[in-house]
Structure 1
Amino acid sequence: MSPKEKLVEPKGEVLPSPQKILDMVFGFTPTVALATAVRLDVFTVLSQGVSTVPELSKATGAGLRGLVMLLDFLVSLGLVEKQSGRYSVTPESESYLVRGKDTYVGGFLDLAPGMMQDWLRLGDTLKTGEPVRRVETQDASEEFFPPLIRALYVANMGAARNLARKLGIGTRWRGLRILDVAAGSGVFGIGALLEDPSSTVTALDYPRILNVTREFAAKAGVEDRLSYLEGSLREVPLEDNTFDLALLGNICHSEGEDASREFFRKLQPAMRAGGKVAVIDMVPNEERTGPPFPLLFALNMLLHTRQGGTFTQGEYTRWLQEAGFKKVEAVDIRSHSPAIVASK
C-alpha cells in the first residue's frame, strides 16, 4: 500500500494510510545495519578491492547467508554498489566509513548501541525528569566526548569553513583573536584559522578534551596559533576587552537556558568593541514544529543532561540582547541550522 492510499472502514469512513507509522516502527534498522557493517569493517574491506561474498565472508567473519542480506540492504540505502554479484563502496562510504581515513565518521556508529539503550528509557525520564546518563559534568564529558568529537570534526568542518567565510574571516576581517568555547575537536576555531593565517585561537575546554583539540590542530598545521584554557566555561575567568570573535559550537544545548544566559553575560565584557559571538547549535523554528533534528535533539538532552535543550533564534536573540549584545542575525552555514551571530 502506498502512503497516499486510503483505508475504508465498513461504515464508509475513509482513513489515512498507516504507512508512515509502520515505517517508523522499523526506523531503527538502518542504524543497526550500518553500525554492524562498520563493526565488521565491511566498508574498509570493500575499499581494498574485496568484492565477492565468499571473500568478504572470510575477511569479516560473517556468514554467507546473512552477509548477502546485509550487503543488499546497504545497496538499497545507497552505501554499497552492486554489479554482477560483486560489491563495492560508493564515493560516500569510501570517504567516511573506511577505518583509518582522516575523514572516518564511524565513531558515531560505535556509540549507537549505548545511545539506543538510553532512548529506550525515554519513558522513565519523562516521568522522573532525571537523565538516564549525564554527559555535561567534567568526568562524564572527558569520558564520553573524545571518541564522539573525532567524528564531529569531520561532520562539522564544512559548516566551520562556511561560517568563517560568511563572517569575512580572511578577506575583510583578519588578524582576529578568537575564543573557541567548549572547543571539543576545535573544528570551528580551526576552520577560522584555515581561512586566515593571521588569526589566533584560544581553546577553552576540559583538559582531556583539549588533548584531542591539540591533535587536530597539529593535523591541520595550525598548532602554533592555538593557546589553551583548561576548565569549565562556567568557572574559567575571561579578561575584559580581549576577543574579536567567540565561537560557541554545540555547547548551549547541553548547558541549558540559565547557564547559557549567564555565560553570555560573562562573555560580553571579554569582547572587543565590534566583536562578534557566533552560536552554532540545533535551532528549531519559533513554533517548535520543526525541523525534526533540533526537536529530536531536545529529547536527547532530556535523556543526557539536567538542564539541556534546544532553543529558537528568538530565545537566543533575547538572551544575547539582555547580555548587552546588539545586532543579532541568523547566518546560513549550509548545516541543519543557521548560526546565530551577535555583535557588541
Structure 2
Amino acid sequence: MRSKKGTKDLFWLRQVSSFTASRIILTANNLRIFDHFKGRGMTAAVLSKAIKTDNRATELLLNSLTAIGLIEKKGSFYKNSPVASRHLVKGQPEYQGDILRHYSTLWENWSGLDEVIKTGLPNKKAHDHESFILGMHNLASLKVKRIIGSIDLKGIKSILDIGGGPGTYSMAFAKKKINVTLMDFSETLEISSRLIKKAGLGKMIKLVAGDFMTQNTNNTYDMVFLSQVLHSFSSEGSLSLVRKIYDTLNADGKFVLQEFYLDETKTSPPFGAIFAINMLINTKGGRTYTLAEITSFMKKAGFVNISHKIIDDTVLITGMKKKAAKKSRQPVDSCLLA
C-alpha cells in the first residue's frame, strides 16, 4: 500500500507532466477546433476534413480534450463542453482564445529556460503582438467590472491610462463619462483603436502614441491608472516610472495601480512566483514585486494615504498626491515602457 507521503510525492510528479494537457489545449485552440464545434457536433472524420488534419490524430486529440473536459463525446460525435462554448468560441463575451494563442507563443520562449537560468538573460525569441494585446483584453474583460467598481472615482474628471494595451479599462472609465487618455506604443494603439471603435467609444478616448517617460505630462490628470505594467521594469525603472506618475498628477490627484504581487517570502501567491519567471524569460529586468516593494516605490515618489485591496491574484493599490507632499527631486532616468 502506498503511504500518504508517497501519494503526495506522486501528485507533484504528475504536476511535472501537466504540460501535456496544456499543449493539447493550445493546439486545439490554434486549430480553431472549438470554433468549428460552435452550435453543433460532428465526428472526428468530418472535423479533420474541415480543418485539414490527419483523421486518426484528430480523433486522439478529441478524445484527450474530452478527458480534460473541454469536449463532450456521445457515440462517435463530439461537441464543445459548456466551458469551451463560453470561453473558447470566438465572439463570445468571455472569449479567452487570444490569450491561449499568446500562451502558445510563450511556450517557445519558456523552452529556453535552462539557458535563461544559466545566463540571466531573456529568451524572447517568439512574439505575436496582436495575440498578446487581444489576450490582455480577454483577461481584463473577466474582471474589469470588479476592478472599476473597487476604485473611488468621485471627483475624477480626467484619467491617464499608461500602457493600457487593448483599452479595456479605458473604455470602462469612458463609459462613466470621464475624459480618458490611453497612452501606449503605436503598434499597440493600432489594435486598441479597433476595439474602441467597435465599442462606439472612439470619440471619448484620446489615443497618444509614445513612451510615457519622455512625454510632458506634468500636473495634467486627476488620476493615473497603471495596470499590469510595473512587472516589466527593474526596481530602478519602477521607481522612476512611479515618480514620473507623481509629477503627472494634479494636486490631490490619485494613482491607482493593479499588479500581480508576492508576499514578504516572495514565494506566495504561487501564480506571482511563477509569473516572475515569465518576466525573467521575456524582459531584461522585470519581475513580480512584493506588496511592500510596490508601496515603497510609491512612498519614495511622495504618495500618501496608500491603501490596497486584494482581488483574486492581483492587488489594487491606491495612493494620493498632496500639495504638502511634493518635494523637489533630481531628474529621473528615462525608461521605456515594455
TM-score normalised per structure 2 = 0.87
CA distance, structure 1, for counterparts of residue 218 and residue 8 of structure 2: 60
Residues 293, 336 of structure 1: 8 Å contact kept: yes
**What's the Cα RMSD here?**
2.3
**CA shift at 1:286, angstroms?**
1.9
Which range moves more in the overlay, 108-117 or 156-165?
Answer: 108-117
1:105 aligned residue = 96
**CA shift at 1:288, angstroms?**
1.3
CA distance, structure 2, for counterparts of residue 126 and residue 118 of structure 1: 13
CA distance, structure 2, for counterparts of residue 123 and residue 291 of structure 1: 24
CA distance, structure 1, for counterparts of residue 92 and residue 80 of structure 2: 14
Write the deviation string for residues 289-340 of structure 1: whole angstroms up to 9, x where unpaired.
Answer: 211111111111111111111101111111101111111222244x321212
1:202 aligned residue = 181
CA distance, structure 1, for counterparts of residue 125 and residue 241 of structure 2: 20
Write the deviation string for residues 258-287 of structure 1: whole angstroms up to 9, x where unpaired.
Answer: 111111111112212332211112111221
1:133 aligned residue = 124
Matches within 5 A, 1:182-193: 182-193=163-174
1:176 aligned residue = 157
Q: 2:202 aligns with which of 211, 216, 223?
A: 223
Q: 1:162 aligns with which of 136, 141, 146?
A: 146
**CA shift at 1:98, angstroms?**
2.0
1:153 aligned residue = 137
Is residue 2:307 matched to residue 1:329? Answer: yes
Residues 134, 306 of structure 1: 8 Å contact kept: no
Q: In the superposition, relative to structure 1, how do residues 93 and 107 fare at CA in structure 2: closer, same or farther (>3 Å)? A: same
Is residue 2:320 matched to residue 1:340? Answer: no
Write the deviation string for residues 93-117 of structure 1: whole angstroms up to 9, x where unpaired.
Answer: 1233224556543233334444223
| Aligned amino acid, residue 73 of structure 1 | S
| Aligned amino acid, residue 200 of structure 1 | N
Secondary structure of 2:159 counterpart: strand
2:327 aligned residue = none
Secondary structure of 2:206 counterpart: strand
CA distance, structure 1, for counterparts of residue 151 and residue 105 of structure 2: 38
CA distance, structure 2, for counterparts of residue 63 and residue 238 of structure 1: 57
Write the deviation string for residues 44-103 of structure 1: whole angstroms up to 9, x where unpaired.
Answer: 111141322332232223333332322222122221222344322123212332245565
CA distance, structure 1, for counterparts of residue 188 and residue 250 of structure 2: 27
Residues 102, 128 of structure 2: 8 Å contact kept: no
Secondary structure of 1:327 counterpart: strand
**CA shift at 1:201, angstroms?**
0.8
Residues 88, 97 of structure 2: 8 Å contact kept: yes
1:11 aligned residue = none
Q: In the superposition, relative to structure 1, how do residues 25 and 163 fare at CA in structure 2: closer, same or farther (>3 Å)? A: closer
Is residue 2:59 matched to residue 1:59? Answer: no
Q: In the superposition, relative to structure 1, how do residues 154 and 108 fare at CA in structure 2: closer, same or farther (>3 Å)? A: closer
Runs of 4+ deviating beyond 6 Å: none
| Aligned amino acid, residue 46 of structure 1 | F
The number of residues matched between the two structures is 321
**CA shift at 1:17, angstroms?**
4.4
Which range moves more in the overlay, 17-26 or 295-304?
Answer: 17-26
Secondary structure of 2:161 counterpart: strand
| Aligned amino acid, residue 160 of structure 2 | L
1:12 aligned residue = none
CA distance, structure 2, for counterparts of residue 53 and residue 121 of structure 1: 34
Residues 104, 151 of structure 1: 8 Å contact kept: no
Residues 162, 212 of structure 2: 8 Å contact kept: yes
CA distance, structure 1, for counterparts of residue 134 and residue 61 of structure 2: 27
CA distance, structure 2, for counterparts of residue 80 and residue 265 of structure 1: 49
Residues 256, 307 of structure 1: 8 Å contact kept: yes
Is residue 2:212 matched to residue 1:213? Answer: no
Q: In the superposition, relative to structure 1, how do residues 158 and 115 fare at CA in structure 2: closer, same or farther (>3 Å)? A: closer
1:266 aligned residue = 244
Q: 1:291 aligns with which of 269, 283, 287?
A: 269
Gaps of 5+ in 2: 322-338
| Aligned amino acid, residue 165 of structure 2 | G
Matches within 5 A, 1:230-245: 230-240=209-219, 242-245=220-223
CA distance, structure 1, for counterparts of residue 40 and residue 189 of structure 2: 37
Secondary structure of 1:178 counterpart: strand
Is residue 2:319 matched to residue 1:320? Answer: no
Residues 162, 226 of structure 2: 8 Å contact kept: yes
